[in-house]
Amino acid sequence: MEVFRALPPAFFDQPPPMVARALLGARLVRRVGDAVLAGRIVETEAYLSAGDAAAHGARPMTQRTRVLFGPAGRAYVYRLRQYALLDVTTEGPGVPGAVLLRAVEPVLGAEHMLALGGGADVRRVASGPGKLCRAFAVDLTLNGADLTDADGPLFLAAGPPEAFEVRVTPRVGITRAQAAPLRFVVAGSASISRP
């Protein structure tokens, strides 16, 4: 079985586009009860810390967005309609940049993910930011969780060395700053939210 070594805090102390790109191929790991769920990250989006009208951090801090303004490497979990969405915070306190985790390919615990809902196709069980949170049982209680802690309930780990092609496209589902090329995708993956 793959060994999961948490990414260090320094990994997240760089601008969101760099973190978003570097997270492709990394592992999202979730411990829930006795089960361990893991996925290979295949789609991310960067939300800039300044000058990005689509970013939650573009507006003054509120109770909901306070994690965004805290330290890097934390889970920013919020709700959209009936779904939770998961971001990783980047850069230091006071700098609200983040990376949205949009899709992963199941690596471990696929059965468990399917049991949480999302259809019958393993490849598509976490092929979208809302579906990803459902498959990994990520909810608001994980808001603020330290994603650099390999002993915690949710963390990010380095993936094995591999070569893949990265595609950069505009972000999905937003109403402002739609043109900015800040979505990063592992080309050819069957688990991304859309081509």
Interface residues with DNA (CB under 7 A)?
45, 47, 54-57, 59-60, 62-65, 76, 79-83, 85, 87, 98, 100, 117-119, 128-132, 171-176, 193
Query: Which secondary structure element, helix H or strand E, spans residue 112, and what is its range?
Result: helix 110-115
Question: Least distance (Å) from DNA to the CB of residue 62?
Answer: 2
Helix (H, G, I), strand (E, B), or coil: what is residue 114? helix
Question: Least distance (Å) from DNA to the CB of residue 131?
Answer: 4
Measuring CA to CA, which residue among 72, 192, 67, 82 is closest to residue 142?
Answer: 67
**CB nearer DNA, residue 71 or residue 128:** 128
DSSP output for 93-159: TT---EEEEEEEEEEE-HHHHHHTSS-S-GGGTT-SHHHHHHHTT--GGGTT-BTT-TTSSEEEEPP
Q: Which two tokens stand for residue 149?
A: 């802690």
Question: Least distance (Å) from DNA to the CB of residue 119?
Answer: 6
**CB nearer DNA, residue 2 or residue 115:** 115
**CB nearer DNA, residue 89 or residue 148:** 89
CA 45, 48, 51: angle at the middle one, nearest 5? 135
**CB nearer DNA, residue 27 or residue 124:** 124
Helix (H, G, I), strand (E, B), or coil: what is residue 1? coil
Question: Least distance (Å) from DNA to the CB of residue 5?
Answer: 26
Question: Least distance (Å) from DNA to the CB of residue 148?
Answer: 19
**CB nearer DNA, residue 144 or residue 173:** 173
